[in-house]
Amino acid sequence: MTKLSVNINKIATLRNARGGNNPSVTQVAKDAERFGAQGITVHPRPDERHIRYDDVMQLKDVVTTEFNIEGYPDARYLEIIEKVRPTQATLVPDPPHVLTSNAGWDTVERVDFLKDIIAQIKEWGVRTSIFVDPDVKIVEGASSVGTDRIELYTEPYASYYSKDREKAVGSYVSAANRAQELGLGINAGHDLDLKNLAYLKEKIPFMNEVSIGHALVCDALYYGLENTIQMYRKQLA
């Protein structure tokens, strides 16, 4: 079964635009789980443009499924992971000023850095996942740094899906197959939606988890959050 983790960053963005606590990030997390989400994902950036430090601390006591915290592994992020001890820490290579994640780790160039960070996080009893491009050599590098899982960066797949879905998914299938051979868990995320998700699942049926935020929240404006989460779950059935 491929689990659906709902990224609630955009809920925090909406709240921050007006101030106050409407919509409530913690209430949406609880509702998302009640509606069928099998995990909650957040990415607390240093500028707190969406999820704030306080949100993460409150969510620690609210999330009852899997809590996934994404971020660049600087001192601030590691402090959060140590305090919260989430189910999963997903390491992304993007620096603080980047609008959204736009590339995976170079697991060959950054092998020593990633090894040390991952070893520390695993000492805290937290599962690790690292954001990677769909490249077999990068996946092999991910295995060498000791991570439990990889998260395939799916924006290129989503961008090319409408033109040639078979070609779009090819490198992802190769990377996922190699990851499975190496004993790595496989997550995926970025620009996945109701149009392209089922085909990715069909081609990589052994994915552990997908993390979806922007598209899911946009769809919820039309269909409602409960219906939308069920629609995404059906794509993964």
List the structure tokens of 215: 């598209």
Q: Which residue among 33, 50, 66, 190 is the active-site one?
A: 190
CA distances to 22, 26, 64, 123, 222 from 39, in Å: 22, 13, 8, 22, 22
Q: Is 115 exposed, middle or buried (0-12, 13-18, 19+ CB in 10 A)?
A: middle
Spot the catalytic one: 43, 66, 151, 209: 43
In sequence order, the β-bridge partners of residue 128 are: 89
Which of 159, 129, 157 lies closest to 145 in space, CA to CA? Answer: 129
The SS3 assignment for 67 reads strand
Task: Tell me, yes or no, if 214 is annotated catalytic.
Answer: no
| Beta strand residue intervals within 133-237, DSSP E | 149-153, 185-189, 209-212
Check: CB of residue 40 under 8 Å from CB of residue 8: yes
- How many Cβ atoms are within 10 Å of 95's Cβ, its own excluded? 9
Amino acid found at 27: Q
Instruction: Residue count of the chain, please give it.
Output: 237
- Annotated catalytic residue, options 33, 50, 66, 70: 70
Asked about 70 being catalytic, the answer comes back as yes
Q: Is 43 a catalytic residue?
A: yes
**Are the beta carbons of 199 and 165 closer than 8 angstroms?**
yes
Active site residues: 43, 70, 190
